[in-house]
Structures are given as C-alpha cells and as structure tokens.
Amino acid sequence: MATPTIAVGDKVPHGTFNYIPHTPELDDQLVCGTRMSSYMNSNKVVLVSVPGAFTPTCHVNHLPPFLARYDEFKAKGVDIIAVLAANDAFVMSGWARVEGLKDKILALSDGNAEWSKAMGLSVDLSHVGFGLRTARYAIILDDLVVKYLGVEPGRGVTVSGAEAVLEAL
C-alpha cells in the first residue's frame, strides 16, 4: 500500500513520461512506434495509475470504465485522460491498442515508477516478482495542482475508479 506524500492543493512534481502516440500505422500489430516524451501541462487532467498493463484488475476493471465513460469526462471539462504505469512505453502502447484507446486516453510510462515514487505513490511488489510499480491511484489535476487524490487502500478499484473520479469532478 502506498503512503502519499502529496495532498490535495499541492502542485505535482515535474515529470517526463515515455509515450507512443496513436497513429493509424499502429493498427498493424507488427509496428512498434517511436518513443516520445510527454509532460502534463496546464490543463485539466485525469490521471489514473495502475500497477501494470494487462494485469487482471487493471485490464478488466480499472481502465475500461474510463474509456466507456470518456464522453462524461469530456463533458465535465477534462482536457486529458491518461493511464500511467511503470511498464515501458512499448508495453503501454500495446496495451492501448488492445484496449482500443486510440487517441482518447494517453498510455504513459512512468519508468521505474520515479514520478509516482516522488509523491509517495509507488509500491514495492517484489514479493510477486513485479519490482517497484506505480500504486493504484487517480489524480485530478488543474493547472498541475492536485484537486483530487484517490489512493486505493487495498486490492480492488474504488476511490481510483471512473465513477469516483467523475463524482469528484
């Protein structure tokens, strides 16, 4: 379980994320894409963090509701929705393709969970062979200031799920 060192009202630390933007060429499963850096700018951002792409809870219960309710997030003024994990950018791109995210939700790589760790939002899952990962959490940012922080207290998806985040908007 993560112990956040960041709170509502704090400004998030600078972070650089590896990201492979969706292009029609990526629909060809043999194309890997090119790596880019992406930084959260001064927009209204919903960032959902998962311990790992393709893991059962993340793949089935956590990310899909954000995509299914995409229009509701946009109607509430959200500029960017992103999913973040410690997986590399190529895994995140592959997961985005499988989930059908296209350009609706950005799939960002927090390499070595460094950004999450800076906020006390990483978790050591070495006991199951995963190493250091991003914790399961959701943040609403407005001009890089935390307006909502939902960190899961245990297994499952509650305070970091699409429904809880929509209610907080």
Locate the domains of the chain by residue range.
17-168
Candidate from 7-11, 30-34, 48-52, 125-129 with smallest mean pLDDT: 30-34
In the numeric block, the tokens 């895994």 are attached to 91
Global pTM value: 0.81
Superfamily of domain 17-168: Glutaredoxin (3.40.30.10)
pLDDT > 60? residue 38: no
Token pair for 109: 């790589």
Interatomic CA distance for residues 112 and 116, integer angstroms: 9
Kindly tell me the sign of the dihedral angle through the C-alpha atoms of 28, 29, 30, 35.
positive
Q: Give the number of other CB atoms < 10 A from CB of residue 111.
A: 14
Under the banding of pLDDT at 50, 70 and 90, the label for residue 132 is: confident
pLDDT > 70? residue 3: yes
Catalytic residues: 58
Q: Judge contact between 63 and 162, C-beta under 8 A.
A: no
